Amino acid sequence: MRLLATATALMLTVGTAQAETQVRVHYAIPTIWADVQQMLADAFMEANPDIEIVIDGPAESYAEGVQRLLRESVAGTLPDVAFVGLNRWRILEDRGLTQPLDPFIEDEAAFEAAGYTGALRSLGQYQGQQHALATSASTLVMYVNPDLVEQAGGSMDDFPTTFDGVIELAAKIDALGDTIDGIWIGRHDWRFQSLLGSYGGRPMTEDESDITFDQPAGIAAAELYARFVDEGGMKTYGQDQARQAYPAGTIGIMMESSSLMTRFIEAAGDGFDVTVKALPVAAEDPSTVYFPTGGSAIVMLSEDPEVQKAAWDYITFVTGPEGARLVVQNTGYAPTNALVLEDDAYLGDFYKDNPNAFVAHQQVANYAGPWYAYPGAEGVAVTDLIAAALVEITEGADPETTIKDLAETVRGELGMK
């Protein structure tokens, strides 16, 4: 009898506890994230029965996701936390929608020890405040076709680690045939920022008051584009065509986001062994080098202190080692918690089976840096101007004058003059 009473009382407490706090979650790109989001929510709710995670219907892309969040902010129906593109949380911050996370972090040293390294924290910081925490990451890597390298007389074991060496090898691959292209890289803001970072450059000053990609590092990065075309046999086709051509085996070296790894391996099938190499580090002082990081971050949007506490628990779970393990195993993105790379217990077996992933993920852990979003109303628009200037460079325009003109135009557009 007493047992029954205890059991009833227990059930009642569990029953009431379950409905205590509800956290609404927004995410985008269901093709990559749908299963993982459910796994994260289920694993979290199992450990925290007093918090219920409610997942909103996903947006098709990060761009669409931000649009929806902006609409919801106008309508007053914002979710409590949101997974957004790493280069897009600033749009929300700019409109005062994100809640700073510093009050929740409290002890910075302990947070660092929990796997949130300075490089990883920098992905969600603006003007010294933590607005977002990265949940998945990718940087620019080199996808190599080993068969073509072999045919061109190169060696995969002794693969070049400088841009000069890469271009030389690309030229040899390009000479193999009419339909074989030596190298390819997208003419796009993020790719340009990656090459710039390899030379130790930054697109803007620390306080974002001036453009700095017209300094020597930026000109060197722009000259790479010209050399890829002139010497490395890069064709000027677009991103979609290149993403078809590499798995088809007609591109020797392709510089692309590490998040495409799974897709390329599947698409290449038995054709050849897709092999990932780290991007060359060109700066004399490697400590200045960083690679702008794509991927997603989680932000807190709720203004209710009660919900905020529960939301913070969810955020730390998702970005903690357990969440990072789930993300890595199911998406192909690199982890955003250093503990999983340091401790074999989380992903040791996974990396043994996926050496390509280890190369890409180590690059993220060593060199992750912010993907600069340009400030203000014209911020997104100027990235298209940058892409257009890169198109001109690959079609023969002088890199130095083009980049200097571009910097002036961008300064004008952003009101920096």
Partner 1 sequence: MMGGARAWREGLTTLWLVGPATLAMTVLIFVPVALVAMLSFTDYQFGARTFNWIGLQNFADMVSSPLGRRAIVNTLIYAAVVIPFSIILALLVALGLHRLARRAGWLSNTLRAVYFLPVAATLVAMAIAWQMLLHPTIGPVNTALVALGLPRQDWLSDRGLVLYTLAAIGIWQSVGYNMVLFLAGLSAIPASLYEAATVDGAERPWERFWTVTWPMLGPTTLFVTVITATTAFRVFETVATLTKGGPAFASDTLVYALYREGFVYFKAGYASAITVVFFIFVLLFTALKFRVLESRVHYR
Binding site for partner 1 (CB under 8 A): 63, 67, 69-71, 73-74, 91, 95-97, 178-179, 181, 187, 235-238, 240-241, 244-245, 248, 250, 377-378, 380-381, 384, 387-389, 391-392, 395
Instruction: Choose among 77, 101, 162: nearest CA to 314.
Output: 101
Closer Cβ to partner 1, 188 or 309, answer by number: 188
Nearer to partner 1, 98 or 198 (CB): 98
- How many residues in total does the chain contain? 417
Spatial distance between the Cα atoms of 320 and 114, rounded to a whole number of angstroms: 8
| Alpha carbon distance 192, 225 (integer Å) | 9
β-bridge partners, 137:
295, 334
Q: In angstroms, give the least distance from the CB of 208 to partner 1.
A: 18
The residue (of 71 and 352) whose beta carbon lies closer to partner 1 is: 71
Residues 6+ apart with CB under 8 A from 308: 80, 99, 104, 300, 302
Shortest Å, Cβ 134 to partner 1:
23
- How many CB atoms lie under 10 A from the CB of residue 109? 7
The whole-angstrom separation of Cα 260 and Cα 402 is 30
CB-nearer residue toward partner 1: 165 or 249: 249
Closest approach, Cβ 266 to partner 1, in A, equals 18
Give min distance, CB of 87 to partner 1, in A.
Answer: 12
Minimum gap (Å) between residue 301 Cβ and partner 1: 12
Q: Which is nearer to partner 1, 68 or 361 (CB)?
A: 68
Of 268 and 380, nearer to partner 1 (C-beta) is 380
Name the minimum Å distance from CB 402 to partner 1.
11
Q: Which is nearer to partner 1, 6 or 241 (CB)?
A: 241
The nearest distance, CB 246 to partner 1, in angstroms, is: 11
| For partner 1, the closer CB: 302 or 363 | 302
**Nearest approach, Cβ of 318 to partner 1 (angstroms)?**
25
Q: Which is nearer to partner 1, 181 or 322 (CB)?
A: 181
Q: CB of 313: closest distance to partner 1 in angstroms?
A: 28
Given a contact cutoff of 8 angstroms between Cβ atoms, the answer to whether 318 and 156 are in contact is no
Long-range contacts of the stretch 6-14 (C-beta < 8 A, 24+) = 14/49
Q: How far is the CB of 224 from partner 1 (least distance, A)?
A: 18
